[in-house]
Structure 1
Amino acid sequence: MSVTVDPKIVDALNQAQQATLSPQVVLTSGAGKAYQMVAQASALAIQDAVDSLRNAGALADAASAAALSQLMETGEPRYAELLKVAEQLRSDAVAVFSKRADAAIALLKDFPAG
């Protein structure tokens, strides 16, 4: 038994296949998906860097508060030095954040969008 398919249906299927499965469409779609994945990974890397910066700030704040409390109580200069160490921790955390963010941005800029 032979089934006849309307030529318009066959043509529509062929056009749909060509529109979605042609090598150029597949290549462009794949490149676009890869770009989106890299963009998402870059955003997560920056988010992680922000979390790290926030955590370093919290540690520096706690250390500063403890050192200042001890400095006021005892007057010992070693606690003033700890305040400087806490400030250096903040500065180092900002530098690390900046490097990570710059690296993520550069990666995304240099990645072909498709």
Structure 2
Amino acid sequence: MDPTTVNPQIIDSVNQTQLATMSPQVVKTSGAGKAYQSVAQSAAIAIQDATDNLRNASTIATTAAGVAISQMLVDPANAELYQTVIQESKDLVTQSTTDLAAIGTAMATLMKEFPSG
């Protein structure tokens, strides 16, 4: 056997591998899958950020309400001012909750509508 001759089975195997991995449809599907994964990861990060925002808003609101209640006990004459702070604290948490829900819904819609390949 001539050492410079390549076995036809090897040539056929290489050609079939190229067809299986480099055909336009395979490349297109693979690219679409990678794009879908990237968008899914971005959506997950957006939801994590909104969750962190809610957690932080809740911490701030709880602290502000606690200080307002303490001040209300010390200075009952200004109770109305402190009640306003408490209400604003509640509103902060409510808005952060609304934002989280809206972001979650938007990301779910985006993922449903985004082509996966």
- Indicate whether 1:18 and 2:39 are aligned: no
| Residue type of the alignment partner of 1:34 | A
- Indicate whether 1:50 and 2:59 are aligned: no
| Residue type of the alignment partner of 2:6 | V
| Residue type of the alignment partner of 2:90 | E
The aligned residue for residue 80 of structure 1 is 83
| Residue type of the alignment partner of 2:30 | S
| Residue type of the alignment partner of 2:91 | Q
Structure 1: runs of 5 or more not aligned: none
Q: How far is the alpha carbon of 1:15 from its aligned partner?
A: 0.6
Q: TM-score, normalised by structure 1?
A: 0.95
| Residue type of the alignment partner of 1:4 | T
The aligned residue for residue 30 of structure 1 is 31
Q: How far is the alpha carbon of 1:101 from its aligned partner?
A: 1.4
Q: After TM superposition, list the pairs within 5 Å mapping 1:92-103 onto structure 2.
A: 92-103=95-106
Residues matched between the structures, number: 113
The aligned residue for residue 69 of structure 1 is 70
CA shift digits 1:50-97 (9 cap, x unpaired): 111111111101100100100111112211121111111111111111
- For 1:30 and 1:45, how far apart are their aligned partners in 2? 23
- For 1:63 and 1:105, how far apart are their aligned partners in 2? 33
Structure 2: runs of 5 or more not aligned: none
Q: How far is the alpha carbon of 1:7 from its aligned partner?
A: 0.1
- For 1:10 and 1:57, how far apart are their aligned partners in 2? 65
- After superposing on structure 2, the runs of 4+ consecutive aligned residues of structure 1 that deviate more than 6 Å are none
- For 1:78 and 1:44, how far apart are their aligned partners in 2? 38
Could you tell me the percent identity over the aligned residues? Answer: 45
